[in-house]
Copies of this chain bind each other. A is one copy, B any other.
Amino acid sequence: MNQKVVVVGAVALGPKVACRLKRLDPEAEVTLIDKDRYISYGGCGIPYYVGGDVTELEGLYSTSAHVPRDAKYFENVKGVRVKIRTEAISIDRKGKAIRIRDLETGMEEDLPYDKLVLATGARPVIPPIPGTKLPGVFVVSSLHDAKAIKDRISRGLVENAVVIGGGAIGLEMAEALTDLWGIETTLVEMMDQLVPTAFGRDMALVMKNQMEGKGVRVLLRERVMEILGNETDGIRAIVTDQREIPCDLVVLAVGVKPYTDLAGDAGLAVGRSGGILVDQRMRTSDPDIFAGGDCVEILHLVSGEYIPMPLGSLANRQGRVIGTNLAGGHERFAGTVGTFCVKIFDLTVARAGLTEKQALETGFDAVHATVVQADRAHFYPTMKLMYVKLIADRRTRRVLGIEAAGWQGDAVKARVDAVAVMLPLKADVNDISNLEVAYAPPFASAMDIVNNAANSLDNIISGRHETIDVIDFLERFKSGRKRVLDVRSPVQAGPFVEKYPDRWLNINQEELSARLDEVPGDEPLFLVCGSGPRSYESQLLLRQKGINAQTLNIQGGIGMILMSDPEFAPEGYK
């Protein structure tokens, strides 16, 4: 008897399961059902469709050979039966059947299964405020939303937009609206930073500056209370706890929640963070029912907690595991470290593991190093600066997370990926110091930035290098307490000395050992150079000479200061 497999949900994980299973077990009778008529599309591509990088909606649901991945495609090419516009209503686990409803005709039927796969995805969170259903308010969760947003814009109906939510999708949507369409866009985020679940405050500040530099207004610590408008004319403004912002379009991007109604109603175990519980084989509490993708919780391989991680990349990998297991295989999906990247206009940020805050909350004795360095040999003409933050546990030296930003996106991804894959293996700081990443001058320094980030972290953990974070520095410097000793050349430091008289000292590192008598004796000083290494060496020299034991070196130096606060720079300084 051929096994009957029903897959509920036909985006990302669902199709992957179905196709993999059919390749391994061509006799399996596989049915893929979905409420929508669009299936197997690249939902992550929606911002690029809205922003014009992808010109046709079809681009998001076609194969690389330009064949639309529609029901006919799955039936002819993959041998998978597809029911679109079909809702799964309930699961009869004892009878091993799933009740489905044709959304066009309203007809219901029971579909028997030997194995069932839940790929029900996640639903966008709708904030509990008035006005979210008004015309002009959109979520970003299906191609219908994508089409509706783009149609509205291209009909010239949008001059001002508000994106609610400063997560990755909010950033991508804000870029899409601003970049192609020149819409005046405001992004409102309730928390005190962008993407708080994935980046530290410093990297978030870098992102905020990039957004603002490109014309997006970013409002943090601001809560949206209401969306104003009416059914006929649509929306006209949003009201926050601080102001009213006129707008013609609102994008809600405040996160997603696993869609688990079907699973919950059937009595399948749902975890604390709201996702369906699955084992490493991706089986739910019912061994005949598998689940994966945005509707499940998976193990975070650094924190040890079970969490939803709604990423298309994970869904695809899990889909293959489920497909193999349905065909009698024994594959496992161990968990996640939450690796991902986002393009924000010209800037790319990427990350994996835990943020320093998350690491502290998890109970680690978290410490970080932030390093600014050329993303290729510093003498290579296309060189740009790159920013890497590496987080580790002080006691065990285990590396817990990495965050990076830079102007050549693939290069940023390269650094994060190389460290990300080491996180589940409990790599320590020394492992990353010697991480054997590829070198040639057009692509890296001989000592790559990831190696140097680990080297810096080693120095910090060993107590050799006493540092201050750029954000703490900016706060403390602005509150007027300490002075800065800048060890760059007078040409580089001069404009800062001029802008901050009495607050900014300059002794070139090359002359420091000869001019030790000019260093203020026992005054706590911030040390700075272009990116950190020279001021670190200066700190060592001062300590050795017993001149000043109270210095703190600013991590990432002027490079990180100016990425975090462009206003800090003297006028005309580049």
Contacts and interface: CB of A to CB of B under 8 A. Distances in A.
A474 interface: no
A337 interface: yes
A358 to B, nearest CB: 17
A48 interface: yes
A168 B531 CA distance: 32
Interface stretch (A131-139, A245-253, A314-322): A314-322
A65 B508 CA distance: 12
Interface stretch (A150-158, A203-211, A406-414): A406-414
Contacts of A414: 410-411, 413-414, 417-418
A417 B317 CA distance: 20
Given A76-B513, A77-B510, A544-B26, A438 B464 contact: no
Interface string A52-65: 01100001101111
Interface stretch (A186-194, A419-427, A497-505): A419-427
A342 B540 CA distance: 37
A433 B321 CA distance: 9
A379 B438 contact: no
B417 A438 contact: yes
Nearest to A489: B65
A44 B348 CA distance: 28
A296 interface: no
Interface string A455-489: 10000000010000000000000000000000011
B436 A421 contact: yes
Nearest to A45: B441
A339 B451 CA distance: 14
A341 B421 contact: no
A59 to B, nearest CB: 4
A54 B379 contact: yes
A437 B331 contact: no
Contact of A343 (B320, B408, B442): B442
Given A54-B379, A317-B433, A421-B418, A26 B540 contact: yes
Interface in A55-97: 59-60, 62-65, 67, 73, 76-79
A377 B339 contact: no
Contact of A73 (B411, B441, B488, B510): B510
Contact of A421 (B12, B63, B435, B443): B435
Contact of A439 (B341, B373, B455): B341
A436 B337 contact: yes
A528 to B, nearest CB: 13
A448 interface: yes
Q: Which of A48, A62, A63: most chain B Cβ within 10 A?
A: A48
A409 B438 CA distance: 11
Interface string A313-335: 11111001100000000011110
Contacts of A312: 439, 446
Interface in A351-374: 352, 373-374
A24 interface: yes
A409 B443 contact: yes
A341 B441 CA distance: 9
A339 B438 contact: yes
Contacts of A65: 488-489, 492, 529-530, 534
A225 interface: no
A331 B435 CA distance: 14
A271 B425 CA distance: 33
B42 A377 contact: yes
Nearest to A332: B430
A389 to B, nearest CB: 15
A448 B343 contact: no
Nearest to A383: B64
A439 B44 contact: yes
Contact of A444 (B313, B342, B464): B313
Contacts of A418: 414, 417-418, 420-421
Interface string A34-59: 00000000101100100001100001
A181 interface: no
Given A438-B341, A443-B343, A447-B317, A537 B23 contact: yes
Nearest to A409: B443
Given A23-B464, A341-B443, A414-B410, A451 B317 contact: yes
A434 B339 contact: no
Q: Which of A12, A340, A439: most chain B Cβ within 10 A?
A: A439
A416 interface: yes
A381 B489 contact: no
A348 B444 CA distance: 13
Given A48-B379, A67-B510, A440 B342 contact: yes
| Top-5 shortest CB links A-B | A410-B410, A313-B439, A414-B414, A64-B378, A410-B411
Interface of A: 12, 16, 23-24, 26, 42, 44-45, 48, 53-54, 59-60, 62-65, 67, 73, 76-79, 168, 311-317, 320-321, 331-334, 336-337, 339-343, 348, 350, 352, 373-375, 377-381, 408-411, 413-414, 416-418, 420-422, 424-425, 430, 433-444, 446-448, 451, 455, 464, 488-489, 492, 509-511, 513, 529-531, 534, 537, 540-541, 544
8 contacts: A44-B446, A62-B379, A64-B378, A65-B488, A168-B440, A316-B446, A331-B430, A417-B437
